[in-house]
Amino acid sequence: MPRLPRRISQWNLENFRRQLATVDALPQLCLLAVMSGALTGIIMIAFRELISLGALLFMPEGSGEAFEALPMAMRAALPVIAVVIIGVGLGWQKKSARRMGIVHVIERFTYHQGVMARSNWLNQWWVGVVSLLGGLSAGREGPAIHLGAGASGWIGQQLKLPHNSLRVLVGCGVAASISASFNTPVAGVIFAMEVVMMEYTLTGFMPVMLAAATGAVITQIYFGTAPAFMVPSVVEPQLIDIPWIILMALVIGIMAGGFIRLAGLGKRSDKMSWPFRLLLAGVLTGVVACFYPQVQGIGYDSVTQILAGNVALDVLLALALGKLLLTAISLACGVPIGVVGPTLVIGAAAGALFGIGATELLPTTVSDANLYVMLGMAAMMGAVLQAPLAAIMALLELTHSPDLILYGMLAVLSASLTARLAWRTQGFFITTRQGSTLHPLHEPLMQALARVGVGAVMDRSVTVTAAQIDIERARQLLASRPKWLLIHRQTDRSRADTEPGKAPLALLAADMARALDDDEESPGWKNDGTIDLLEIPGKRLELAPIDLQATLAEAYERLDDRRLDALYVRHITAPMMHRVSGIISRDAIENYYR
């Protein structure tokens, strides 16, 4: 019984945060992953039901993709109405609040340690619904990923978890979103690791896999196990198909590279006002929709019809080229839409065109056209996102056909390399976000340091003191055997309970002990029997603050920015109140990395 209170105390939130700061906190991260996957699954259900509820208001039979059944005038007007609503709803907000979707998630993950902005997350709900029901060429997965990542990050932010675990939670939300949207858990995991987190580690893999599985279970309980679109039995591929597959992949790679370049023009379109650009995207979509309504919305119904062989050649051309241009122009004009869904539809149409060509020219030797449809979807997704492994795994999970892996690899890799080399692009998310500069997480040092919180490496043997103290107080400080003394330079207060007006200094406790041994012969002794810790012999380190939630990567960057050798770690306990938790030095960070 005497041990029970100590055991219970080990499970308090403070110890939980401390454990999460380490690099191997797998049990704790897996527990959070289940929470993340469950919450993301519920968010996905709510988002899809919100779209269905909106479709009941004006769409035929309440179907969110039945644009073909609408009158021509309504098809043309819907995109214009949608961009006007988006413009009015976002126009009064600050520019940063307009950033949404996967690009925003990657930006927050890379530069803000996964801390998601609340205003952007709230905007994503209604903007996602309006863009899809408004007939813009948009995808559901981009908003879903933003909502899932934001909800998962909210768990960490509410618990004030260290940023290294917050980053894993964001990855969990991304994986669970993709898994819940397509019923493809493995593809969701690979997408999160390959596109957002950009690293493969055991600490990241296991929680992200658990979140993806949990998210899929939640949505399957509600919606069933049917995939996003029905995939018929795929004819067994043959080696004779390889030349056509390679040719198709080369063309899709050129299309994907052009898509990325065109969408990236938005960074150089500041000469046109944002409202005008929104209106331009809406009008162009409406004009094309007058003749080819299939370009509106996500287009998964069109994929189902393509696989069933019920789509005319001109419609396939409209989906392959028209939807590509409309989606890229909408992105360039600043319309916050998802990109994953449209790339799959564009790839399916392009693949169908090549499949029809192959079966017409070589009817007795090549496989069914549906083979090229599925490979085209994977090739376009892999080339646009520059995420070949995620595309191949999505192909495998959607078709349940391991025989396609070899041919899928050839198609996806050929298309990805073609887009990269022919257009010199690094992928849609990196290109549209920051041009061709190196992604910060590509640096091995920063990758390693971002996995660990400062709480795991900092020196906790710290005592806070005023600059001038008497002998009795000095001996009391040494009795607690601290390694460091954190000295306030502006106040005589002995506790760091409020924000200091000036950054403190760090002094080794051994230097003060040496000064006490020297007694009044040491510099720093005053006539009234007090000692000034700012004057005694010893090495004093200039300090800057850093929060306990920060990662070693954040600490390393702050040390470089401030040109310092150490930081004091503070734990925010209340607004404008904090306590010192420890000191982390440059040597400690470098020793950890080595």
Where residue 553 sits, what CATH number does that domain have?
3.10.580.10
Checking phi first, is residue 443 left (phi over 0); if not, alpha (psi -120 to 50) or beta?
Answer: beta
The strand pair at 462-465 and 540-542 is best described as unpaired
Low-confidence residues in the chain, pLDDT < 50: 1-10, 435-438, 441, 491-500
- 239: enclosing H helix or E strand: none
Are residues 72 and 169 both part of a single domain? Answer: yes
* 326 and 210 co-located in one domain: no
Tell me: do 463 and 429 sit in the same domain: no
End position of a domain, from candidates 383, 416, 444? 444
Classify residue 6: in a domain, yes or no: no
> Which pLDDT belongs to residue 440?
53
Looking at residue 4, what is its pLDDT?
38
Write out pLDDT tens, residues 268-303.
656 788 899 999 999 999 999 999 999 999 999 999
Structural domain contains residue 568: yes
Are 402 and 498 part of one and the same domain?
Answer: no
Mark out the alpha helices in 452-585 (DSSP H runs).
471-479, 509-518, 552-562
Q: For residue 485, give both structure tokens.
A: 């003394």
Please state the three-class secondary structure of 143-168 as a single string. HHHHHHHHHHHHHHHHHCCCHHHHHH
User: pLDDT tens, 8-27?
Assistant: 444 588 888 888 888 778 89
Predicted pLDDT at 429: 86
Sequence-distant (≥ 6) Cβ neighbours of residue 380 within 8 angstroms: 252, 255, 256, 343, 344, 346, 347, 350, 415
In a domain, 2, yes or no: no
**Residue 506 within any structural domain of the chain:** yes
How many independent structural domains does the chain possess? Answer: 3
Residues 213 and 281 in one domain: no
Are 375 and 411 a contacting pair, CB within 8 Å?
Answer: yes
* SS3 (DSSP) at 383: helix
Residues 372 and 462 in one domain: no
- Longest Cα–Cα distance in the chain: 105
CB half-sphere exposure, 555, CA atoms < 13 A: 39
In angstroms, the CA 226 to CA 546 distance is 48
- Both 282 and 402 in one domain: the answer is yes
pLDDT at 21: 87
Do 177 and 259 fall into the same domain?
A: no
Same domain, 385 and 356: yes
**Is 210 domain-assigned?**
yes
Phi, psi of 593 (to 5 degrees): -65, -40
579 in any annotated domain: yes
H or E element at residue 278 = helix 274-291
Range of the domain at 303: 239-444
Residue 234 lies in a domain: no
Q: Which residues of 386-403 are buried (b: 16+ CB within 10 A; e: fewer)?
A: bbbbbbbbbbbbbbebee
The answer to the question of residue 514 being in a domain is yes
Which residues are paired to 422 by β-bridges?
none
What confidence score (pLDDT) does residue 198 get? 81
